[in-house]
Amino acid sequence: MLAFFGNHVLEEGDLCVYSGSIIDVLGRAGVGEQAVRSTLTRMVNRGLLRRQREGRRMYFGLTPQATRVLEDGRTRIWRQGAVNDDWDGSWTLLGFSLPDSWKRQRHDLRSRLTWSGFGALYSGLWIAPGTVDAAAIVSELDLADHVKIFHARADEATNIELMVRDTWDLESIAARYVTFDKRWTTHLGAGSGDDPIGTRLRLVSEWLWTIRTDPRLPARHLPPAWPARPAQDTFRRVAEQTEAPARDMARALLETAPVR
């Protein structure tokens, strides 16, 4: 659902999309109508989407919170990329201690930290390469009183390669990239196909799933022939060949209304 709104709403300004159009497009990616409707409801309840009635039809648009999430995803996908060749040697450290009863808050914090590139150095101490704006995450989750953030550099006695292997599941991350690359390489040179909007939605959704747990570790501290580079190349080439056809198809398929 986020990939859909990121592809077809984020860049278009203040628009809402008719639920029937959303059901049609996500159906092309193999998502059933009931799943789409329940996801729309959950996202409204979580403040990620807004409802707008036009006559007997219901339309859905982005909230400021969803816009921030999608803009962050856009930066991660199109600007930063999956390969970190320009690491400056710095790390961001975040320590937290939450009450045992705060299961939801702990889950939300860990999820956001994982997306932002953090790994668990120890149970309550997480680390990410580079300078990460962790304060924004903490503030949004209202956990400032329970979190401490530091920016540091490793001492020469620290074996960074060993620390990286112990903190992140490199085999799992690499396997995601290999799987993605094998699946989507077959689309190269095949054009946009008969259903470019469905193809592009699947492409972006699977790429988001692939990079979701990748902390963009410094390339020089990763195993040789790290598979993120060829997978990213495949992603961008398929994205380029489907971009214009998917945009044209969206204009023909999607029924929209301006936000009121």
List pLDDT tens digits, range 132-184.
Answer: 989 988 998 999 999 999 999 999 999 999 999 999 999 999 999 999 999 99
pLDDT, position 192: 58
Query: Mean pLDDT lowest for which of 49-53, 76-80, 109-113?
Result: 76-80
pLDDT, position 165: 94
Mean of per-residue pLDDT scores for the chain: 92
pLDDT, position 72: 87
Structure tokens at 255: 């029924």
pLDDT, position 189: 73
What is the rounded distance in angstroms from the CA atom of residue 84 to the CA atom of residue 98? 32
Average of pLDDT values for 219-244? 94
pLDDT, position 260: 85
What is the rounded distance in angstroms from the CA atom of residue 203 to the CA atom of residue 171? 22
Choose among 199, 191, 203: nearest CA to 231.
Answer: 203
| DSSP conformational letter for 79 | I
pLDDT, position 245: 93
Largest alpha-carbon pair distance within the chain? Answer: 68
Is residue 126 helix, strand or coil? strand
The yes-or-no verdict on residue 191 having pLDDT over 80 is no
Beta bridge partners of 128: 92
Which residue has better confidence, 55 or 189?
55
Burial label for 126, CB within 10 Å (0-12, 13-18, 19+), is buried
Residues 6 or more apart in contact with residue 152 via CB below 8 angstroms: 90, 91, 93
The yes-or-no verdict on residue 208 having pLDDT over 80 is yes
What is the rounded distance in angstroms from the CA atom of residue 252 to the CA atom of residue 80? 32
